[in-house]
A and B are shown apart, each in its own frame.
Chain A
Amino acid sequence: MFEARREKIFVFGITIVLILFSIIALVPLLSVIATSFSSKSAVDMNLVTLWPKQFTLDSWGYIIDRPDLWKSFFLTLVTTLIGTALALLMTALLAYPLSKPEFRWGSVIMIGVVVAMIFKAPIVPYFLTVRAIGLYDNPLVLIIPHILNPFNLIIMRTFFKQFSKELEEAAFLEGCGYFRMLFQMVLPLSKAVLATLALFYGVVLWNQFQHPLFFLQNPDWFPLQIKIRQFITDDNVILAGVTSMIDQNYNERTLRAATVIFAIVPIIMVYPFLQKYFVKGAMIGSVKG
């Protein structure tokens, strides 16, 4: 009886603390949302806190109307989807042989993988290499450098190593080759690791910023994160001059707010469905290294 009560108090306390934390996390988000729905002058005069003042959809109208933002959005979406699929394929194709003791070169390649993971290439040689491969100012740079990550490779290899040997031997006896084994037996039974790595790769691809910044010159190929960054930075206009009168009911701050929301909505919508894999994924490979 006493124990149960203490436990209740404990749970209650934890709940309160967590609620407070989520309020702390939510308040800035609410403020940004409120700003995105407020009028120019209300925002100019610092009147907006948690609720929109002089409600207007003008900022959102502007955002929705901007074709380049949508273009970036779809570009990012497509590169993330294709990139993730390719990345899983490449990773599996290398991880599977590496998990087989009978693969003679396995240990050598493994050393190469570990070296690549520990020593990152310095920026100048890396730039020169990527350029030499022909990826400079080429939209493929949004995908190709990301499709094989050593860390993810090791996770997958570890997972494959735990795969039941008896099952494979049985399949071999029936005349099944390595490729068929991988695609028809191992991969279908590895959904947990695939989902996890898909998330790891997907998040990197969705959020990529540095790569396109370095390697792309054509703004048509800019992914969403760079486009947003262009909205967000406060760049001082050197010579304001006289522009034809500002009749819009939005300003930098409201647009900024709307763009930020625009960019996080997809992630927010996907996250709850995938979150469980994140936790599971972090556990895979953590025990058996």
Chain B
Amino acid sequence: MIPKKTALLLAAVILAAIALSGCSGNANQSKNTNQNHTNNIDGVVDIEVWGTNIGYKPITKGSPLYEFYKEKLGVGVIHPYVEWNGGTNYLNQLNLKIAANEMPDMFTPQQGIEDSLAKNGAIADLTELLPEYAPNVWEAIPAEMWDVVKANDPTGQGHIYYIPGSVDYGRYAGMIRQDWLDKLNLQMPTTQDEYVNVLEAFRDQDPNGNGQKDEIPTGGRQETRWMDHIFAMYGVAMFEGYPEWDLYGGELTYAAVTPNMKAALEFAAKLYKDGLMDKETLLNDKAKWDGKITSDKVGNYFHWVEHLNLNLENLAKNTGVKAEFSILPIPKVEGYEGFYTWKRFAPPQWVVKNSKDETKLKATLKLLNNMYDKDNWKDLYLGVEGMHYTMKDGKAIKLPDDKSTMENQVLNPYSSSATLAFTKDLYNDTASDDSKWAIEQLTKNMDEAQKYAKVIAGDGISASIYEGFPDINNRTLFVEYAAKIILGQYPISKFDEFVEKWNKSGGEEVTKRAREWYSKVHQ
């Protein structure tokens, strides 16, 4: 009985397999011819581009943004909709597409996928192509950065496989309520003691004048994020709450395990204990913390300086107070050299398919070259008139976000290779009369913030050093100890236990790899 059943089952499986493969063969062919974007009559080549899209409309052949890119950049851009979903779904879709042998011509890689693609020869080696066919890209990114990209080549041959995102200025700083300082007749603090005095005055002297003791001198957000200004004064390389790699004692070291970090945490715990830091610091999410800032309660916070206008305008709208923020100079602490961490490297921005089709490859490089041409940036930023911006009193003004009508502006070199000059111009050129006061403060502060920005030694370090040690990459252990120390649940002496545990759980190995990387970049 059993052999008969098995035989039948086998037969059924084989039948099904035959039916299925037959089906797929046919359907595949018809699909391929469908998706193969042929050259247009006017000689413009269409290429498929995948990148971040958080819910805007796709770019389809003949759509307004397609025509705009075609006219501006000389290449047709087809940008299908791929649900972003924090990057996870995008990556899944990309993997499936690659498995189906339909890799987009140009796309934004995610979570290190470019490493394996480069190893398999699936993406183009850009080392020689860029200087020749896309000189604008080549020049938009500093030579030292290309050296780092070469050092990060997973094949170990020193080739370039991706175009990195880049930032040519310090984006971050602690900002402090200048109007509160003036009201309480206080000087801008320059040393740590003065800083603490100011925070105490904010706490006790009712600078917002509502008769309640509801001021929050300073604070941050959950997972010890967005409070880098506390760490900055001790020379801790901290990036939005992520400890980074910098030189300590002449050697590349993870900032979380340095004596500097220990001293900074001790100071943070003291601020917390004295009620100078928000009691909910480690519970705040973005909305909650922004809400406190815009309800006229927070004296000093850390964030992107160029987003200050959002807080200023919301604060004015919520409370009627036109606040004034200045950059907090890094308070001097004896024995430490303070700075705000500046990473010139942003995640890899574009990779190009290793296409057998010369015309496609050339078209992709042409697109890259033209979009990195700084003369095009303003137009690319504004997008299509009537869809992304409108003219008001002779000035181009961006329309409010509307995902149901706007096509996704996927080509955005102005933000993926941001420069201080362009960003400031953008704000100045597009400021309306109502928002002028906020924009003026913002641009002044952006200039001021440059004084305290320092490029760290570990800038651009390859994420592959964390391979096999996801917990170190996620800084799980650090967040646990740092949070408990700040809240006073752990004494500061526990920090040494953390360092020991970190080293044992893979930190030593990661440090070794990081130092190897550093010597490779600086040979």
A residues lining the B interface (CB < 8 Å) = 40-41, 43-46, 66-68, 105, 107-109, 111-112, 123-124, 127-129, 131-134, 136, 213-214, 217-219, 226, 229-230, 233-235, 237-246, 248, 252-253
| B403 interface contact, C-beta 8 A | yes
Contact A244 B399 (CB under 8 A): yes
Contact B309 A132 (CB under 8 A): no
Per-residue A-contact encoding for B79-95, CB less than 8 Å = 1, 0 else: 01111111001001101
Residues of A within 8 A of B85 (CB): 213, 229, 233
**In the assembly, what is the distance between CA of A213 and CA of B392, in Å?**
39
Residues of A within 8 A of B108 (CB): none
**In the assembly, what is the distance between CA of A239 and CA of B31, in Å?**
38
**In the assembly, what is the distance between CA of A213 and CA of B306, in Å?**
34
Q: Which residue of B lies closest to A136 (CB)?
A: B31
**In the assembly, what is the distance between CA of A235 and CA of B89, in Å?**
14
Residues of A within 8 A of B418 (CB): 239
Give chain B nearest CB distance to A90 CB in angstroms: 17
Q: With A41-B317, A226-B83 in contact, is A112–B12 under 8 Å at CB?
A: yes
Interface positions of B from 408 to 441, Cβ below 8 Å from A: 412, 414-415, 418, 423, 426-427, 430-432, 434-435, 439
| B390 interface contact, C-beta 8 A | yes
Contact B431 A217 (CB under 8 A): no
| B183 interface contact, C-beta 8 A | no
Contact A242 B99 (CB under 8 A): no
Between A133, A136, A235, the greatest number of chain B beta carbons within 10 A of the residue's beta carbon is seen for A235
Per-residue A-contact encoding for B90-128, CB less than 8 Å = 1, 0 else: 001101100110000000000000000000000000000
Give the top 5 A-B pairs by smallest Cβ distance, nearest first. Answer: A132-B24, A45-B295, A235-B54, A41-B318, A239-B415
Contact A132 B432 (CB under 8 A): no
10 pairs of residues in contact across A and B, judged by CB atoms under 8 Å: A44-B314, A45-B318, A214-B96, A217-B80, A217-B82, A240-B307, A242-B398, A244-B390, A244-B398, A245-B435
Contact B20 A213 (CB under 8 A): no
| B42 interface contact, C-beta 8 A | no
**In the assembly, what is the distance between CA of A66 and CA of B405, in Å?**
11
Q: With A132-B24, A239-B414, A242-B439 in contact, is A219–B309 under 8 Å at CB?
A: no
Residues of B within 8 A of A44 (CB): 290-291, 294-295, 314, 318
B residues lining the A interface (CB < 8 Å) = 5, 8-9, 12, 20, 23-24, 27-28, 31, 54-55, 57-58, 80-86, 89, 92-93, 95-96, 99-100, 286-288, 290-292, 294-295, 306-307, 309-310, 313-314, 317-318, 381, 390, 392, 397-401, 403-404, 412, 414-415, 418, 423, 426-427, 430-432, 434-435, 439
Contact B318 A242 (CB under 8 A): no
20 additional contacts (CB under 8 A) given A67-B404, A233-B54, A242-B439? A44-B295, A44-B314, A46-B288, A108-B9, A123-B96, A132-B28, A133-B24, A134-B27, A214-B92, A219-B58, A229-B83, A230-B54, A230-B55, A230-B83, A238-B415, A239-B412, A242-B431, A244-B398, A245-B313, A245-B432
State the total of A-B contacts with C-beta under 8 angstroms: 145
Residues of B within 8 A of A66 (CB): 404
Q: With A46-B292, A243-B401 in contact, is A131–B307 under 8 Å at CB?
A: no
Contact A219 B31 (CB under 8 A): no
Contact A244 B400 (CB under 8 A): yes
Give chain B nearest CB distance to A137 CB in angstroms: 9
Contact B99 A124 (CB under 8 A): yes
Q: Which residue of A lies closest to B403 (CB)?
A: A230
Q: With A214-B93, A214-B96, A240-B306 in contact, is A131–B8 under 8 Å at CB?
A: no
Contact A45 B294 (CB under 8 A): yes
Contact A233 B81 (CB under 8 A): no
Q: Which residue of B lies closest to A111 (CB)?
A: B9
**In the assembly, what is the distance between CA of A124 and CA of B100, in Å?**
9
Q: Which residue of A lies closest to B54 (CB)?
A: A235
Contact B397 A217 (CB under 8 A): no
Q: Which residue of B lies closest to A246 (CB)?
A: B400
Contact B84 A243 (CB under 8 A): no
Contact B291 A46 (CB under 8 A): yes
Q: Which residue of A lies closest to B284 (CB)?
A: A46
Contact B54 A217 (CB under 8 A): no
Contact B96 A124 (CB under 8 A): yes
Give chain B nearest CB distance to A59 CB in angstroms: 15
Residues of A within 8 A of B307 (CB): 240
Give chain B nearest CB distance to A115 CB in angstroms: 9
Q: Which residue of A lies closest to B86 (CB)?
A: A233
Contact A108 B12 (CB under 8 A): yes
Contact B309 A131 (CB under 8 A): no
**In the assembly, what is the distance between CA of A107 and CA of B12, in Å?**
12
Q: Which residue of A lies closest to B60 (CB)?
A: A218
Contact B427 A241 (CB under 8 A): yes
**In the assembly, what is the distance between CA of A130 and CA of B100, in Å?**
12
Residues of A within 8 A of B415 (CB): 238-239
